Amino acid sequence: MNSQTLDTLREWLRAFAGRAQPLRVLLTLGSLMALGVGSGHHDAIIPLFLGAIASALAETDDSWRGRLRSQLLTLVCFAGAAVAVELLFGHTVAFIVAMALAAFWLTMLGAVEARYKAIGYATLILAMYTTLSLDHHTGQGGVGGWRQAFYLLAGATWYGMFSVLWCAIFPAQPVQDRLVRLFWVLGDFVRFKASLFEPLRGIDIERKRLSLAQLNAEVVAELNAAKESIFRRIGARAPTGRISRYRGLYLIAQDVHERASSSHDDYNALADAFFHSDLLYRCQRVLSLQGQACQRLSMSIERREPFVIDSASVQAMADLRGAVEHERESALTPERQALLASVDALARNLAQLDGQLAGASQPSAQAGRTEMGLFDRSPRSWRDMVERVRRQLSPRSALFRHALRLAVALTAGYVLMLLIHPAQGYWILLTTLFVCQQTYGETISRMGQRITGTAIGVVLGWALLELFPQPLLQSLLAVAAGVVFFTFRQSRYMLATAAMTLLVLLCFNQVGNGAGLIVPRLVDTAIGSAIAGLAVLLVFPHWQAGRINETAATAMRTHAGYLRQIVEQYRSGARDNLDYRLARRNDHNADAALSTAVAHMFREPGFVRPRGGVVLRFLIRSHTLLSYLSALGAHRAALPNAQRAAVLREAAESAAKALEALAAELQSGEPAAPRDMASAAEEVAVRAALADVVGPDDESDQAARLFRTELTLVWLQIDALRLHAREWLGKGEAAQGLRD
């Protein structure tokens, strides 16, 4: 075996080991299958498998201690659910009431944090699995029913043991996987940002900015996931070893994201000014190489190899500086000089971005930082947990509406099951639970994928049962199907559904006639999916179009908070402290939430979003404003001239107040009353002073000039946001529909 083959095999093994949960599922289901077949207890295989699957669905990224605590809590919840189903199974009214209450309150646990959301959801699934086992085994409980519940809990415990042991043996692997994904997505973002620098006239920059906002939402999601994964393993303690390096890499990713998000001037103006120059092409090349560097860093983290900066990036950066100097000699008009100053600031920003990536080659990856704390968003106490749930107990809460909707949908499914008496009718409830999601678009998408995946699964199951009648082969195929389900359940739901359907058919065939489940499985899936679809459409619908003004208001408030933190840094000098990083992260989170909400809105029926185009333009302007704030943050430094600094800070504070006023307008859902003459005059005076703070021939105060340019661009976006908000919240029936 040559070295290339060995390297390929090693990379394949790393990639497979990186998929930690499917590997744990393989070990768990394989050992349970061997135990059931070897002992002759074939009737135990189904509940053991279902218990293990429910436990795996409750799993979240954690340290081994945190996973142990979560596993114990999960088993307590599972035991309570199994006992309740055993006692109430066959008592129609009591079962319906208990099921509805459990669906509501277990769903509301999602208000606490992701760990409790997963446990609550998995507990509901295990309750449904218990009903399936009882219905299949005895129909009315009894001694056999209690044995089935015991097997369910035993399967969940068995997977939990593998999970805790895995976390103890490989404590840093989940963080490594998160960072690999983070830097890969960040590289995609940076490379797409490079496409904005094409010096071509007539490019639809707004469309590119919309795509950039959507990519930014992906980066923000990966940043949040990586941060939580790191924090689970350090808590209040100073990290050591690989976790310490991974924390440094995460902070580098934050800084690269801020610098890559920055915009230093209007792209169309730059394209017009430097149409006959290669200057913007050189900017594009540097950014493109930096995006590639992010993805090479991703691969080096995955392979645990040292990261080395490519010399091509260094040369491209030097060429860009030379191009800027050449343009400076030929820039004759003040307008061209001003735009060249923006490109010069961009070049300095890209140089700093190169420096951040170079810091990733250091063993500690600290890149000169002294403050590396992370903000803990987890609940501090039981009282905090209860308070988080209490705050969501409102009809305006999407989680509250989803919890009520799910309770109603499961109740309707149970009543329908009693009326039509279908074979294996509890599959209706399980399908409804899986398909009914918090948003309309996700539910409809999952509805189609569930039905299609189930159809594929039953056809494939029938074929495999006919081709491989041997029980041993069917057992191996069932284990493989479980691994496929957990490999693709987040990315390819249709394939995951087909795999789970196949697993169920093969397992039930071990103790009966699996082929007899084919038609009931198809019918019950169709009924359960239809109930979920009708529920999200008719029962407490939470249309994004009716609430998106609140999401937009949050974005405006976080813009203001980020701007104030930036201004403070221009007063005291650049410090990468926790307050600054928290304001920056909150703003990017709000921007990502707005982008996600708009995406969900466009998956809703057209009659609930009569002014979707205005909302889309608002999102583009909001994201553009964030890019100008990011540029201010990327260049933050103490201003040497006190008088200019005071004028700039006053203009920035006025902009922050304007953003907060716009947030209040959006929050209320009503256009604001016209401003009084004094307020309008004050704003005009502040903006006039901003325009004159740096003279056209004054090249000495580079920081003040940059501050003035970016703040002027911020004000232009505020003006556009005000216009869009007035159009969005304008009078008429359409606007009333938006306000719900």
pLDDT tens figures, 687-700: 777 776 665 555 55
Mean pLDDT along residues 671-694: 68
- The CATH 1.20.120 portion of the chain extends over 544-738
Q: Decide if 627 contacts 714 (C-beta within 8 A).
A: no
Q: Please give the CATH number for the structural domain made up of 544-738.
A: 1.20.120
193-204 pLDDT, tens digit per residue, is 888 887 776 677
* pLDDT in the model for residue 240: 64
Closest CA relative to residue 651, chosen from 556, 564, 555, 559: 564
Quick one: pLDDT at residue 345?
85
Q: DSSP E strands: which ranges in 88-247?
A: none
Average the pLDDT over 161-176 and give the result: 88
Percent of the chain with pLDDT over 70: 87
What tens digit of pLDDT does each residue of 35-54 get? 887 777 777 788 888 899 99
Longest dimension (CA), the chain: 93
Please report, for the chain, how many H helices and E strands are present, in that order. 28, 0
What gap in Å lies between CA 222 and CA 436, rounded to an integer?
A: 25
Inform me whether the pLDDT recorded for 150 exceeds 60. Answer: yes
Which residues contact residue 556 at a Cβ distance below 8 angstroms, ignoring those fewer than 6 apart?
Answer: 622, 659, 660, 662, 663, 666, 721
410 vs 128: CA distance, rounded Å: 11
Calpha distance 305→295 (Å, rounded): 13
| Number of CB atoms found within 10 A of residue 704's CB | 21
Q: What is residue 412's predicted lDDT score, i.e. its pLDDT?
A: 93
Q: Quote the CA–CA distance of 728 and 719 in Å, as a whole number.
A: 14
Is 538's pLDDT higher than 70?
Answer: yes
- Cβ atoms 298, 357 nearer than 8 A: no
103 closest CA partner among 543, 490, 387, 399: 399
Full DSSP string of 422-434: -TTTHHHHHHHHH
Residue 732 has a pLDDT of 38
Q: Is the pLDDT of residue 510 over 90?
A: no
User: CB within 8 A of 404, min separation 6: which ones?
Assistant: 104, 539, 540
pLDDT at 502: 87
Q: Is the pLDDT of residue 681 over 60?
A: yes
Helix 311-330 with 279-303: angle, nearest 10 deg: 160
Residue 134: count other Cβ atoms within 10 Å of its Cβ: 25
Which one is predicted more confidently, 126 or 241? 126
Alpha helices (H) along 262-333: 267-273, 279-303, 311-330
| Residue 403 confidence (pLDDT) above 90 | yes
Give 203-231 pLDDT, tens digit per residue: 777 888 888 888 999 999 999 888 888 88
What span, in angstroms and rounded, lies between the C-alpha atoms of 571 and 514?
72
DSSP per-residue codes, 44-67: GHHHHHHHHHHHHHT--S--HHHH
pLDDT value at residue 736: 40
- Taking residues 725-730, what's their average pLDDT? 81
* Residue 532: predicted pLDDT: 92
Structure-token pair, residue 736: 């009333």
Average pLDDT score, the chain: 82
CA angle at residue 593 from 592 to 599, to 5 degrees?
A: 90
Q: Which one has a higher pLDDT value, 373 or 244? A: 244
The torsion angle over the Cα atoms of residues 678, 680, 686 and 692, rounded to 10 degrees, is: -120
Instruction: Please give the pLDDT value at position 673.
Output: 61
Q: Is the dihedral of CA 4, 5, 11, 14 positive or negative?
A: negative
pLDDT higher at 238 or 322:
322
Burial of 525 (C-beta count, 10 Å sphere; 0-12/13-18/19+): buried
Q: What is the pTM of this model?
A: 0.86
Cα(740)–Cα(738) distance, integer angstroms? 5
1: tokens are 């075996």
CA 269 vs CA 141, 211, 320, 346: distances in Å: 74, 20, 19, 15
CA dihedral 51, 55, 56, 60 (to 10 degrees): 170
CA distance 12 to 610: 50
Closest CA to 343 of 253, 281, 258: 281
Tens of pLDDT, residues 328-382: 777 667 677 777 788 888 888 888 888 888 888 876 666 555 565 666 677 777 8
Residue 225 CA to residue 553 CA, distance in Å, equals: 25
Q: How confident is the model at residue 645 (pLDDT cuts 50, 70, 90)?
A: confident
Scored b (16 or more CB within 10 A) or e, 602-630 reads: eebeeebbbbbebbbbbbbbbbbbbbbbb
Is 143 a residue whose pLDDT tops 50?
no
Interaxial angle between packed helices 334-359 and 311-330, expressed in degrees from 0 to 180 and rounded to the nearest 10: 170
CA–CA separation, 303 and 306 (whole Å): 9
Rounded CA separation 511/43 (Å): 6
Q: Under CATH, which architecture does the 173-359 domain have? A: Up-down Bundle (1.20)
Mean per-residue pLDDT for 597-623?
84
Cβ–Cβ < 8 Å for 50, 218: no
Confidence band (pLDDT; 50, 70, 90) for 718? very high
The secondary structure of residue 606, as a DSSP letter, is: G
The rounded Cα 495 to chain-centroid distance in angstroms is: 22
* CATH 1.20.58-classified regions of the chain: 173-359
Greatest mean pLDDT among 130-134, 536-540, 703-707 lies in: 536-540
d(CA 275, CA 260): 23
Is the pLDDT at 731 greater than 50, yes or no? no
- At residue 616, does pLDDT exceed 50? yes
pLDDT score of 735? 39
Q: Which of residues 143 and 612 earns the better pLDDT score?
A: 612
The token pair that represents 36 in the structure block: 């059931």
Sign of the alpha-carbon dihedral angle for 237, 241, 244, 246: negative
